[in-house]
Amino acid sequence: MIVYDKKLLDNQILVDEAQTLYKGGFISKEQKKFVQNELPVFKSQENILVRIGFFLLSSLLYGSICGAISIFGISAENAYFQISFYIFAVVGFAGSEILAKQNFHNHGLDDAFILGTIMNIGIAIAITTEGYEAVIAFFMAVASICMFLRYLHLLSMLAFCLSVTAFLFYQMFEFGDIGKAILPFVAMIFAVFFYFLTKKMMYSLTKSYYLNGLLLANSFCLVLLYLSCNYLVVRELSAELLGAEVKPGTDIKFAFFFYAFTFIVPIVYLAQALRTKDRIMLWIGFLAIGFSIYTIRFYYAVLPVEVALTLGGLILFAIAYFSIRKLKEKESGLTFKPDRINHSDAFLNAEALVVASAFGMKPEVKPQDSPMEFGGGGFSGGGSSESF
C-alpha cells in the first residue's frame, strides 16, 4: 500500500534519530553529517515556512493545470461541469503519484496535490448527489484514508478523522429528533471506542510508519470526547439543531451530567497525562481547562473581565512559580530541566512575535478619535490577548 521505498523510510527514521541525538548533544556534528551522507532520504522540508510556501506554489500549479484543462472542456458546458471535478481529482492523484515517485515526502509540493485530490472528490460527489452530506462525508473519508495509507500523509489522516465524524453526525440526523437528542452520547461512545482501538493498534505495530497517523487519530478522539459532552457545545448545538430554547430558570436535559463532564474530563486528562508522561494529552488537557473556563464565563459572568484577567494572571503565575521551584532540582521523571531528547521550544521562539502583536505600540495619528491609542500600547493589547 505504501508508495515509498521501504529502504528510504527506514533511512529516514535513522536520520531523524541522528538529528535528535545531535541536538541532545549525544553525538558530534561530524557523526550526524556522516549519517546524513551515508543514508539517502526523502526530499522533505522541516521548516514550516518553506513548506507552506511550497504548498501555496503547488496549489497554484494544480489550479492552473485544472484551468488549462477547462479551456478544452468549456464548450461542452453542463456535461463538462458534471465530470470536471472527477477529472481534477484524477489530475491530483496523478500529481501525487509523480511527486511520490520522485521521493517528495512532507515537502509542501505533495501536500497540495494530496489534499487537492481529497477536496475535489468531495466537490465531485457533491455535484453528482446534489449535496447529500452523508454520502460526501463517506467518500471523502474513503479518499483520505487511502491517501494516508498510500502516502503516509498526516493531514489526510486529520481529514479522515473529520470526515468520519461528519459522517457519523449526518447519519444520526437521518433518525430525526431522537438521533439529534442522543448525538452527544453517541459521539462520546464513538470517541471512547476509537480511542482504545487506536491505542491498541499503536501497541501492536511492528513498524513505525503508521505510528504518527495513529497518534493523531488517538489525540483526535480525546478532543472529540471532551467536546462531545461539553456543556457549551451541547447546549448551543441543541439550540441549533432541535430549536430548544433554554428559558430562564430551566436548563437542558441532563445538565448536571454535562456540567460534571465539562470539569471532570480535563482533570482526568491532566492527571493521566502526568502519570503516563504523555505530552500531547497534557496539552489537550490544558486547552480543555481553558475551554471549560470559557464555557462557564459564557453563561455566568462571575467576575468582570478585567478582574478575571488580572486574577487569572496572578493565579497562573503562582502555579508556574511554585511548580518551577518544586521541580527545578529534580534529575529524573517529572522535571523542569529541559529534556535533551524531546525539547519542544518552538513556541518560545515565537514568544517575541506574540508580544509584538499583543503589546506593540501604535502611532497616534488621530488622538481625538481614540484616546487610548497613544503610547501605552498595553491598552489596545488587552483586547487581542483575550483570545488566550
Partner 1 sequence: MKKFNEQATAGLYEKGLITENQFEEIKSYRSLNIFSINTELKLFLYLSVLLFTSGIGILIYENIDSIGHIAILSVLLVVIAVCFFYCFKNSKGFQKTETKFEHPVLEYLVLLANILTCIFIGYLQFQYKPFGEHYGLATLIPTTVSFFCAYYFDNRSVLTIAITGLAAYVGLSVTPQDLLHINDFYASQNLSYSAVMLGVLLILWTIYSNRIGLKTHFGLVFLTFALHIISISSISNLTGYVVTWMLFAVVLAASTYYFYKVSYAYKAMSLYVFMIVYGYIGANIVLFRIFGDVDFSDIWELLVLLLPAYFVGSIVMFVILIKNFHKKITA
Residue type, 294: Y
Rounded least distance, CB 117 to partner 1, Å:
17
Question: Rule CB under 8 A: is residue 129 a binding residue for partner 1?
Answer: no
Is 273 within 8 Å of 281 (Cβ atoms)?
A: yes
Residues of this chain, 277-306, that bind partner 1 according to CB under 8 A: 277, 279, 282-283, 286, 304-306
Window contacting partner 1 (CB under 8 A); options: 50-58, 75-83, 227-235, 258-266: 50-58
Distance between CA atoms of 20 and 343, rounded to whole angstroms? 9
8-state DSSP, 372: G
Q: How far is the CB of 214 from partner 1 (least distance, A)?
A: 9
Q: Which is nearer to partner 1, 175 or 196 (CB)?
A: 196
Phi, psi of 217 (to 5 degrees): -60, -40
Nearest 10 degrees: Cα torsion 370, 375, 379, 383: 80
Q: Which of 30, 49, 243, 302 binds partner 1 (CB under 8 A)?
A: 49
Contact 159, 129 (CB under 8 A): no
Binding segment toward partner 1, per CB under 8 A, in 134-142, 231-239, 256-264, 326-334: 326-334
- Indicate whether 370 belongs to the interface with partner 1 (CB under 8 A): no
Sign of the C-alpha dihedral computed for residues 107, 108, 113 and 115 taken in this order: positive
Interface residue with partner 1 among 80, 254, 259, 359 (CB under 8 A) is 359
Query: For 377, phi and psi rounded to 5 degrees?
Result: -65, -15
- The nearest distance, CB 121 to partner 1, in angstroms, is 21
Q: Which residues contact 213 (CB under 8 A, 6 or more apart)?
A: 148, 152, 154, 157
Contact 265/288 with Cβ under 8 angstroms?
A: yes
Give the Cα separation of 187 and 197 in Å (integer): 15
Near partner 1 by CB under 8 A: residue from 45, 120, 144, 156 = 45
271 contacts partner 1 (rule: CB under 8 A): no
Residue placing its CB nearer to partner 1 in the complex, 241 or 282: 282
126 lies in the binding site for partner 1 (CB under 8 A):
no
Smallest distance, partner 1 to C-beta of residue 270, A: 11
Selected binder of partner 1 within 9, 90, 181, 202 (CB under 8 A) = 202
3-state secondary structure of 104: strand
The grid coordinates listed for 35 are: 549519517
Which CB, 29 or 247, lies closer to partner 1?
Answer: 29
Nearer to partner 1, 1 or 354 (CB): 354
Give 173 or 359: the residue with its C-beta nearer to partner 1. 359
Among positions 66-125, residues that touch partner 1 (CB under 8 A) are: 67-68, 71, 109
Q: Is 363 in the site for partner 1 (CB under 8 A)?
A: yes
Shortest separation between residue 339's beta carbon and partner 1, angstroms: 4
167's enclosing H/E stretch is helix 154-174
Site for partner 1 in 328-357 (CB under 8 A): 331-345, 347-348, 351-357
Q: Can you tell me the distance from the alpha carbon of 140 to that of 137, in angstroms, rounded to the nearest whole number?
A: 5
SS3 330: coil
Following DSSP, what letter does each residue of 21-51 receive, concatenated?
A: HHHTTSS-HHHHHHHHHHS---B----HHHH
Nearer to partner 1 (CB atom), residue 40 or residue 313: 313
**Number of amino acids touching partner 1 (CB under 8 A):** 109
Return the H-helix or E-strand segment holding 134.
helix 133-151
Cβ nearer to partner 1, comparing 217 with 237: 217
Residue 141 CB-density burial (10 A; 0-12 exposed, 13-18 middle, 19+ buried): buried
| Contact residue for partner 1 among 1, 6, 7, 31 (CB under 8 A) | 31
